[in-house]
Structure 1
Amino acid sequence: MKHRGRHRRRRRGAALRAVLTGTALALTAAATLISVSQADVTDGPGALKPLSSPADTGRLRLQERLVPARTLDRLSAAMGRPVGVDAVLASADRAMRTSAGCSSADRASLPVAPAPARAWCWDRADSAGTAWRPASVTTSGDADDDGVWGRHRVVLAGWTHSTTTGRAAERGLARVAFVNADDPARPAYRWVLLVVPVDGGRNYRGLSSGISGMVWYQDKLLVTARSGGADALYVYDLDRIQRTSVDGPAIGRVPGGWSADGYRYVMPAIGSYRFTAGHCAHSGPPCPGALALDRGTAPDSLVAAEWTAPDGDRNARLWRYAFSTSPARAGLLATDARGRAAAVQAYRTRAAGIRGVLSYRQPGADDASWYVGRLPASRDGHGTLWRQDTAGAKAASCGADGSHRCWAEAAGSLSYWQATGEVWSLSDRMLFSTPLADLDGSLG
């Protein structure tokens, strides 16, 4: 349950901003020079093109499907009283290392410009030789505007298992690292496996979907669903985390209790959103990719970017949905009487291979700027981060050849922590943050 104490927490946020301002890290990645083709230097995504026709916006419409309360109640009655974020953080069993304690290969994956203010690498048990890869990030700065959930600063990082390598039972599964970030020098985390109730709450299965995007808003966690169907998002309740009772490789109900491939905690989905126009396709709904929260709109909104291949010729769409303002629908999207959520704004960009998206309105600006983090066409090495609006696009330059490939390697989603002014993201090896002011200062 969220506990309030805004004035005290805002003072803590101000103190943290002061720390961030004065303690930028001297990272090895900042000195890295990248050699790329001239196309990487000059090929920008151009200006955003607004999409307003019903034919365009209709493809973005979602149908909400909530899991019946009796299903969730049956599952919790069988597994025991649900727990919240505090219980997961209290049992954190993995330690992160600050950049000074990370390998040179880890640090080389970080952005070149701007250099991160803070960076951490994962426990070696999770980062060395596994088929799990991080792709999405959200924080308690998204969950509540004071940046604190209960008594804690929290970062959530979404990881997806490869569908082609590693143990067959794990392939395609999704898990979330709950990171206790109260002490930036010693963050620690615990895994929670994402699952979906089945058989009316008498059992559950693992969520088999890449979670390339993730947003924690109020008490809900929205993640992308890319499992080959028409589902766009799954919804989770941070107050409905369940403990498992059997340490075994199975997922679901087993003789003697509940198992989750060795994980102590599972979080069952409480709903989903599905495109009304069917499966994602070039002429239909987008394949969901990156997600982020925008608190600069009224009401707050969920922004999204379409996933398209970085080496293809299919340009992506960017769009947003409004969140509901009803207390009875905390953390859910605004819907009509039929349970449908319509996009309230949409654009076409010439960018492809988008792994991160963020929307933020600068003071005095008429409209928001959109930040898009892209993979290179070769899918290796550093990517690019562009700031776009309807007038054009800008990106940082680095290296002797003025390359725009200055962002992180295999960079994931973006999350803006309003209380501290930080932008959070992750490479394929590290979690990092940088002040939004530094990011803007690096953009051309």
Structure 2
Amino acid sequence: MYFQSLLRSLLFSPLLPLLFLSSPATTTAQKLDETAFKLKESGYNQYIAPLSQLLPKASVLEVLAATNHDMVALDVLGLGMSYRATRWENSASFNDFGTTSWYPQGISTSADAYDVGTYEGKRVTLVSWYDNRDVPAAENKGVRIAFVDRDKSPDAYRYVLLVEPYSNAGTADFRSVKVHAGGIAWYGNSLYIVDTDNGFRVFDLTQIWKVETGDGIGRKAGGGFSAANYAYVLPQSRTYTPADPPSPGIRFSFVSLDRTTTPDSLVVGEYQPASFTGPRRFVRWSIDYTNRQLITNSAGVATATWAYQVNIDRMQGANSVNGKFYISRSNGGSNGDIISWVPGNLANIAGGALPEGPEDMSYDKTTGTMYTLTEAVNGRYILPFDPTGLP
């Protein structure tokens, strides 16, 4: 990786308006009252137990052993940056690189899952994709997760469909999870997925189920279960929904795990276009490593531990590392930016450093490597880089 030039601007000072990153109608960057941001934890999904008696289980390692798509390693350039990236399969029979039916969004790795950096000895990356087809809601397949085995050569992956167990006329069943999945965070055996206006959905990686072939999602008329011809499903186990939110409520656009705080924490940020006149914020919630759940009070309410109004337009992802933020920003059909910032200080912008369409971010503390990914059609990559090259 090399880094050429950064534009340092008078931004993020608590005393100055954000003249370049935000709409003129927005206010200055400022710390917010974190106690205004609360999430109510649900109980564990009651329909998982009966379904787990009917469906055979598969482990993460079994899914990785059954990968059926290969990635391609290649060099990708941004302005002043180069990446040894991987791109999704683009073959005559399968084209993730250029499909318009599905779009990649969130990224997390085994270094989020466990502090050692591996999951049961494997280096793994998870990436969320949402169904972008213009179809009736009943036909929408929702979200799939690419399980990428980075110990194979080349990197290889297989999809697992997210499902929500529920009662279908009194019978345990499952259905698709229709969210944008703009950010994900893998923590132990829990996978946190942002639900834009509704907080977090959490999925239990100890309950991956094998299903039969079939176009439908859930119980089949003739018996058994299918998931739009995906071989595996991952069930939603609990939710965290906003409780007495401020106005406007926080937009859960992306999320990342911060292992440099004590306790570990999840950081959520907001994507907003330049035309939006409200705030753009970061909010942090602490997470309990013993049960992989947000830290709550006796009423099951998780209160944020930190919140800040930053007012950066078009934020797509962010990592917080030892108090410093690294933010990906999209610029329509042009290259994206990397912004680095320490709260209360000036920000630095690496303009055009990312390819078109940057999204969520993840940080591997064990190697010092940061990851992001891109969603642009025929420009979809997983991009690792060394953040120490950024001021």
Query: Does TM-score exceed 0.5, indicating one fold?
Result: yes
Q: Which aligned pairs between 1:237-316 and structure 2 lie closer than 5 A?
A: 237-245=204-212, 247-254=213-220, 255-277=222-244, 283-316=247-280
Task: Provide the C-alpha distance between the structure 1 equivalents of 2:78 and 2:187, rounded to a whole number of angstroms.
Answer: 27
Task: Provide the C-alpha distance between the structure 1 equivalents of 2:40 and 2:202, rounded to a whole number of angstroms.
Answer: 13
Q: Which residue of 1 aligns with 2:295?
A: 334
Q: Which aligned pairs between 1:218-237 and structure 2 lie closer than 5 A?
A: 218-226=188-196, 231-237=198-204
Task: Provide the C-alpha distance between the structure 1 equivalents of 2:21 and 2:179, rounded to a whole number of angstroms.
Answer: 31
Q: Which residue of 1 aligns with 2:150?
A: 181
Which secondary structure state, in structure 2, belongs to the residue aligned with residue 414 of structure 1? Answer: strand
User: Is 1:321 the equivalent of 2:296?
Assistant: no
Assess if the C-alpha contact under 8 Å between 2:141 and 2:228 holds in 1.
no
User: Is 1:190 the equivalent of 2:166?
Assistant: no
Report the CA distance shift for 1:133/1:178 in structure 2 as closer, same or farther (over 3 A): same
- 1:139-174 Cα distance to aligned partner (Å, 9 max, x none): 001011111101210000111111x53686553611
Assess if the C-alpha contact under 8 Å between 2:248 and 2:278 holds in 1.
no
Assess if the C-alpha contact under 8 Å between 2:314 and 2:330 holds in 1.
yes
Report the CA distance shift for 1:113/1:312 in structure 2 as closer, same or farther (over 3 A): farther
The match for 2:97 among 127, 139, 157 is 127
Task: Provide the C-alpha distance between the structure 2 equivalents of 1:111 and 1:208, rounded to a whole number of angstroms.
Answer: 33
Assess if the C-alpha contact under 8 Å between 1:79 and 1:244 holds in 2.
yes
- 1:199-244 Cα distance to aligned partner (Å, 9 max, x none): 0771000000000010001111000113xxx521100111110001
CA RMSD of aligned residues (A): 2.3
Assess if the C-alpha contact under 8 Å between 1:324 and 1:333 holds in 2.
yes
| Residue 427 of structure 1: how far off its partner (Å) | 0.9
Task: Provide the C-alpha distance between the structure 2 equivalents of 1:114 and 1:315, rounded to a whole number of angstroms.
Answer: 30
Task: Provide the C-alpha distance between the structure 1 equivalents of 2:215 and 2:79, rounded to a whole number of angstroms.
Answer: 41
Which secondary structure state, in structure 2, belongs to the residue aligned with residue 73 of structure 1? Answer: helix
Q: Which residue of 2 aligns with 1:84?
A: 59
Give the counterpart letter for 2:81 in structure 1.
P
Task: Provide the C-alpha distance between the structure 2 equivalents of 1:195 and 1:268, rounded to a whole number of angstroms.
Answer: 5
| Residue 79 of structure 1: how far off its partner (Å) | 1.3
Q: Which residue of 2 aligns with 1:434?
A: 385
Task: Provide the C-alpha distance between the structure 2 equivalents of 1:129 and 1:271, rounded to a whole number of angstroms.
Answer: 31
Structure 1 unaligned spans of 5+: 1-23, 32-41, 101-106, 362-367, 397-403
In the comparison of the two structures, how many residue pairs are matched? 361
Structure 2 unaligned spans of 5+: 5-18
Give the counterpart letter for 2:341 in structure 1.
Q
**Larger strand share, 1 or 2:** 2
Assess if the C-alpha contact under 8 Å between 2:140 and 2:176 holds in 1.
no
User: Is 1:344 the equivalent of 2:343?
Assistant: no
Task: Provide the C-alpha distance between the structure 1 equivalents of 2:63 and 2:273, rounded to a whole number of angstroms.
Answer: 36
Give the counterpart letter for 1:373 in structure 2.
S
Task: Provide the C-alpha distance between the structure 1 equivalents of 2:80 and 2:131, rounded to a whole number of angstroms.
Answer: 29
Assess if the C-alpha contact under 8 Å between 1:234 and 1:269 holds in 2.
yes
**Larger helix share, 1 or 2:** 1
Assess if the C-alpha contact under 8 Å between 1:252 and 1:258 holds in 2.
yes
Among all aligned residue pairs of Structure 1 and Structure 2, give the percentage whose two residues are the same amino acid: 28
The match for 1:51 among 32, 38, 42 is 32
Q: Which residue of 1 aligns with 2:68?
A: 93
